[in-house]
Amino acid sequence: MIKALCWNARSINTQSSLERLQTLKKMH
């Protein structure tokens, strides 16, 4: 269960970082 939580947090982190990259691209 702990492994699943860690993996879930990592996926959320990557998703947020991807969204941040997309917003940066839109600004440019």
CA distance 14 to 5: 14
User: Over the stretch 1-28, which tens digit does the pLDDT of each residue have?
Assistant: 678 887 788 888 999 999 999 999 998 7
- Give me the residue spans of the domains in the chain: 1-28
What is the model's pLDDT at position 7?
79
